[in-house]
Structure 1
């Protein structure tokens, strides 16, 4: 059997998922249905906003389903009527078993890490925050526990020292899309071996800045990727300059790390490190009011390159300093 012979239902919502859907379409796959989030009111006029996946699907004449609830009997019947051989999930909601277990070939997911590492909602952010030198993409079969299904294919790639989560995201969506096409082709041709995650070698990832909640056991060191909350984004300048730099780039461009400046929130999107044997007290602001603005950390200074002060636009540091009176 060829990949083009399969009846495929695709499920996804944001721009990250569009790359995968586009790759499948360009590979000639038969996408019999696209499931995405319902339209939501947004903006001043509260006009209904369509997901990136819906916009793509409509432009390419694909059948779209937008269920409010995935267990809704009407939606389940519509899904069954599509008679999919295979379902694909990329950046979508958690599926109930009645959905993921429906097609005879199962449901596969594209996850933004080298599983079993970084299971969870924010794998790209946490890999960068933790200072990883490498990450990757995994395709796997869905089962009950989130991100624990049998692995189909994986592909790794390096993370640059100053690369932001947004830049990793943009590279990863293209790498993941191509890996997905290879996965579908392998499934159709019956040549892919499913590997339980318990048998997959766990990469030796950087452990220098692990949160205390992470299992540091000697046999298997698994790092997780939970949802990002506001407290995660607050910069602690008592930490090393490496840790602060990694936090900033790991949360850039969204949701953005922040500190306070003159009683206002200051978001920092880009930075560079300056190590120093005798830095000032953590969090001290140093600037020449022309070309640089930096904060002291435990072992050096964090230079701010791109920032946004509350109520202002995002800008480079020199532009900011021209209009700021410290």
Structure 2
């Protein structure tokens, strides 16, 4: 099959590389336009673009997905199938173009955690398992008929960054299986299941800054899950000495704290503990506004609390 691949971040690169390694015919790659980044506003290329250029793949970088020039260029590739991993929402004129359709890889067990940040929200909500799903695109986002899924058991201690890397590799393998299945007609396409009565449908909307502010009035395990679910980016934060303190990793100690929620105790050498509703968050990896990211002992050597 002639395949057009669409994606932007590093998560998508693993899938693109897996397809090429498996011998798939990638006739074109669609990714985001270069964007200014950093203090110097130097143009930054997406991870997918860097991979495509390094491997001599034909590249398209449309600003608008309905642009007639882009549509014409896409049609000229004569793809049998389009594959989407971590890209923008596609208009029907794009996803409905190839004869075998357009498939998407999503980092959750659909229908749970439809949306932009499924990895983050699965950890924030303290899930015991998640996974990856491949499905055919249709009008409503993340609602298409499912092709294959693969489950992953969560440890209860991993960060979103660590889970990202696990699902990136799992997803790449599942995508190759899916493409081979579509090519050979060996797949069992089925609608997304209706949840059993009483089972909550959970969503995975984009993460905003207000989602990252820690509320220490919540149960300590819930605070711990928020910290893990936002690490390493965009990172959960609180205020310390009137400055933003990002917390990338921590442990927690359930029990009575003896101080009000949000207060902290420290021995100025090895530990900094913030009180939550029913226990302490013990910070291990953090960054104070204006400083570099560091471990707790290095941090305490350089700051007066």
Give TM-score scaled by structure 2 length: 0.98
Give the aligned partner of residue 267 of structure 1: 246
Q: Deviations over 1:58-112 (max 9, x none)?
A: 1111000000100000100110011100000000000000000000110000000
Partner of 1:322: 301
CA RMSD for the aligned pairs?
Answer: 1.1
Please give the secondary structure, in 1, of the residue aligned with 2:32: coil
Matched, 1:106 2:101: yes
Instruction: Work out whether 1:131 is the aligned partner of 2:126.
Output: yes
Deviations 1:100-141 (A, max 9, x none): 000011000000000000000000000000001111000000
Task: Report if aligned partners of 1:266, 1:307 keep a CA contact under 8 Å in 2.
Answer: yes
- Work out the CA distance in 1 between the residues paired with 2:178 and 2:262: 48
* Distance in 1 separating the partners of 2:266 and 2:4: 55
User: Is contact 1:8–1:87 with CA below 8 Å preserved after alignment?
Assistant: yes
Aligned to 2:152: 157
CA drift of 1:278 comes to 4.9
Q: Which of the numbers 79, 83, 96 marks the counterpart of 1:88?
A: 83
Residues 192-211 of structure 1 mapped to structure 2, 5 A cutoff: 192-198=187-193
1:276 aligns with 2:271: no
Residue 232, structure 1, aligned to residue 227, structure 2: no
Q: 2 CA distance for matches of 1:58 and 1:248? A: 36
Distance in 2 of aligned mates of 1:66 and 1:145:
24
- Report how many aligned residue pairs link the two structures: 305
Alpha-carbon spacing, 1:123–1:285, altered in 2? closer, same or farther (3 Å): same
Q: Does residue 275 of structure 2 align to residue 296 of structure 1?
A: yes
Consecutive unaligned residues in structure 2, runs of 5 or more: none
Q: For 2:304 and 2:46, how far apart are their aligned partners in 1? A: 42
Residue number in structure 2 paired with 1:206: none
Residues 1-326 of structure 1: pairs in structure 2 closer than 5 A: 6-198=1-193, 218-326=197-305
1:198 CA displacement? 3.2
Alignment gaps of 5+ in structure 1:
1-5, 203-217
Structure 1: distance between partners of 2:53 and 2:256: 58
Query: By how many angstroms is 1:276 displaced?
Result: 1.2
Shift of 1:277: 3.5
For residues 157 and 179 of structure 1, the distance between their equivalents in structure 2, rounded to whole angstroms, comes to: 12
Aligned equivalents of 1:191, 1:150: Cα separation in 2: 15
Name the SS of the counterpart of 2:193 in structure 1.
helix
CA distance in 1, matches of 2:191, 2:258: 48
The equivalent of 1:213 in structure 2 is none
Deviation of 1:279 (Å): 4.0
